[in-house]
Chain A
Amino acid sequence: MTTRRDFLATLLAAAAVPTLTWADAGSPDFLAAARAPDGSFVLCGLTMQGRETFRIPLPALGHAGASHPVRPEAVTFARRPGTFALVIDCVHGQVVRSLASPEGKHFSGHGTFSADGETLFTAEIDNATGAGRIGLWAQADGYRRIGQFASGGIGPHDILRLAGGSLLVANGGIVTALDDERTQLNLDTMRPNLSYLATDGTVIDQIELVPELHCNSIRHLAAHSDGTVALPMQWEGDEAVHPPLLGLHLRGGDPVLCKVPDALSPRMKSYAGSVAFDGNGRNVAITCPKGGVVTLFDRDGRFIDMPERADVCGVGAAPGGFVLTDGFGGMMQLRSDSLTPLASFDLAWDNHLISV
């Protein structure tokens, strides 16, 4: 039975902490960074139907980021050199906090929240050695830095929270100099891996590709509800070689490398930019902005189709298919048999769609 005191306490708490949710930011399905025509940068909320729910100015081009599981709050990372990240209140359109990468390290551009939203995990790279770290930040404590542990490899890029709460990190394997050309220093010896980590940093499992694919940098990640993980890759070997660019992995097994017909594989330009499973979990798509195509596979890794869309890169799940964004402002809907426009914006969409 609710006492009068309990009732008042509840009322007071509610008044003191008005809990905003993503509905207050227009219920976006995705967040995406973009460049506006005047050269400025913005972060947008987008629905699956192609509606823009908010547009917030950013001081620099954002890359990927993380959306808080409950609060209408996003963390976006500076594109590069990646020494800061911004916490953005997506309701009021304000940058509420700036996070600096630790001395001698830079952010990879990707991060993820714990399921309860209390901890932000950021992928970080040692400037000198390329060694990877995962940084921990306490959301409720003003994003105070509360710890770090090894990412399990060199040059981590994407980081994902899996259904059970553990973390998955794509250690891309590349040591990159922080010069303007981002010179890659170890292409002969690079060894990317996929690391499954507990939230205390314990390595649960680690997967490497076969030796002849050691130049295939694992960069991004997506997870299926059944535990299958999709790992798109970027080939750093000879341009005339066209290796598989998507692997599917279920713990306990070897990664399945998804083959594309010989006549089509050169079209991907050996570069996959983003990945997603569709809303039904039936298919998986990788975007290839350099080739201007999306490559669609079924969830067992069998090739389905390769529709054309210039500069396509962002991809996210939608019911029965995918949503795609590109650098020319387009937003498209991809189904297994069709690619149709949803909307056209005066923006150049950056590489990723971040699911809310």
Chain B
Amino acid sequence: MRPVLSLILALAASPVAAGVDDAIDAHILPGYAAFAQATAVLNDAAGDCSADALRPAWNDAFDAWMGVSHLRFGPVEQDGRSVIMAFWPDERGVTPRALAALIADAGPIIETPAGTAQISVAARGLFALEYLLYDPQFAGADSGTSAYGCALVQALTLDLATVAAEVDDEWRETYAATLRTAGDEGNATYLSDREATQALFTSLLTGLEFTADQRLGRPMGTFDRPRPMRAETWRSERSQRNVVLSLRALSDLARHLSDGSAPLAEAALLRAVGLAEALDDPAFAGVVDPSGRLKVEVVQQAVRAARDAALAEIAPSLGVSAGFNSADGD
């Protein structure tokens, strides 16, 4: 049996590079370009730093982030950029404290981009901006009464757009080629075709796990103690939307990777997307009562089922796996 199985795996392994190319061209590069564009628009909009004017552009930028937030390798991880752009979960409430400290001091550090890059990562990026645009504690930007609050919003949108543009540039200029030439002589990052496929498949798996465990799991808390204020972006009431958009992005990645050869996994992903869309609980505030919590739990189970289906169906067809060591600690 074994030689036959090896032969099947060897044959199945040949379209791997096609899946990687496809994912780069139709998923990764457009995703980062859209995010860079959306953060640039947000930065332009910050000229008028009233919250009402900025919220739509901030939401567009967050939508675009959901299209790429599962890609956790390469340029977005260089120098901690993913954390700089999206500091969450923030279990200890570091972001509001860091922002409050900055505002209390009215420190001149934010007057230059280099200075802004020196402030606490918790006070940078999409989640810091959410506080400034939505949280009553930081009304300064909204009322226009605080010049410093306005300057801070402008500094943070510029900082975000700068980092997003760096990631987009590096992907287009160098990293896409690094991933495409996996296994070539001189490629010190990916020693084989399979490693490139593996990087994308790992993004799919960990993206599904993050949505199940963090985006859905954190507000669910335990049955006896649901934690709605642990939901991602509950202040802007887009927690449910994040789940929907991230699942759509993950379905898109799965489709490009498997090239239509994973009907069960695709169906499981579609089901999870459908259940997430059908929820009527934008900030997951409904988890406080048992029936509301159950509805969120049903989505979580569907996401976990999709993760299992991807592992069972997509992984073997691509000749990849969950990491040997990362999946089985000791």
Which residues of A come within 8 Å of B, CB atoms? 35, 37-38, 63, 79-80, 109, 157, 219, 234, 238-241, 261-264, 266-267, 271, 273, 289-290, 292, 308, 310-313, 326-330, 339-341, 344, 348-351
Contact = CB atoms under 8 A, between A and B. Distances in A.
Given A63-B330, A238-B91, A351-B325, A330 B80 contact: no
Q: Which of A35, A264, A308, A328 has the most CB of B within 10 A?
A: A328
Given A267-B80, A290-B329, A351-B330, A341 B324 contact: no
B323 A271 contact: no
B156 to A, nearest CB: 15
Contacts of B122: 262
Interface stretch (B63-71, B100-108, B195-203, B247-255): B195-203
Nearest to B191: A344
Given A310-B323, A350-B325, A262 B83 contact: yes
B205 to A, nearest CB: 12
10 contacts: A157-B330, A262-B80, A263-B84, A266-B83, A289-B325, A310-B199, A310-B323, A328-B194, A330-B191, A348-B321
Contacts of B91: 238, 240-241
B324 A348 contact: yes
Given A308-B73, A313-B325, A38 B79 contact: no
A341 B326 contact: no
A330 B73 contact: no
B328 to A, nearest CB: 8
Interface in B275-330: 321, 323-326, 329-330
Nearest to A344: B191
Interface string B56-98: 0000000000000000011001011101100001111000000
B192 A344 contact: yes
A159 B244 CA distance: 48
Nearest to A157: B330
B188 A340 contact: yes
Given A79-B330, A273-B330, 14 more contacts: A240-B90, A262-B83, A263-B121, A264-B80, A267-B80, A290-B323, A310-B73, A310-B198, A311-B326, A327-B325, A327-B326, A330-B191, A330-B195, A349-B325
A262 B123 CA distance: 12
A329 B324 CA distance: 10
Nearest to A289: B325
A328 B195 contact: yes
B92 A326 contact: no
Given A79-B330, A328-B194, A328-B198, A241 B92 contact: yes
B330 A311 contact: no
Interface residues of B, number: 35
A56 B121 CA distance: 49
A263 B79 contact: yes
Q: Which of A240, A264, A290 has the most CB of B within 10 A?
A: A240
A289 B323 contact: yes
Contacts of A340: 188
Contacts, number: 98
A234 B194 CA distance: 29
B304 to A, nearest CB: 15
B120 interface: yes
A240 B218 CA distance: 10
A341 B191 contact: yes
Contacts of A339: 188
B225 interface: no
Contacts of B321: 348
A308 B73 CA distance: 8
Given A263-B121, A308-B73, A349 B324 contact: yes
B6 interface: yes
A262 B120 contact: yes
Given A240-B90, A263-B80, A340-B188, A38 B6 contact: yes
Contact of B325 (A241, A264, A311): A311
Given A263-B121, A273-B329, A311 B324 contact: yes
Nearest to A39: B2
Contacts of A238: 91
Nearest to B324: A327
A238 B90 CA distance: 11
A38 B5 CA distance: 9
Contact of A310 (B6, B89, B121, B202): B202
Given A241-B92, A263-B80, A350 B195 contact: no
B139 to A, nearest CB: 27
A329 B192 CA distance: 10
By Cβ-Cβ distance, the 4 closest A-B pairs, closest first, are: A263-B80, A327-B324, A240-B91, A311-B323
A63 B122 CA distance: 39
Nearest to B218: A240
A298 to B, nearest CB: 19
Interface string B1-20: 01000100000000000000
Q: Which of A219, A261, A310 has the most CB of B within 10 A?
A: A310
A271 B81 CA distance: 20
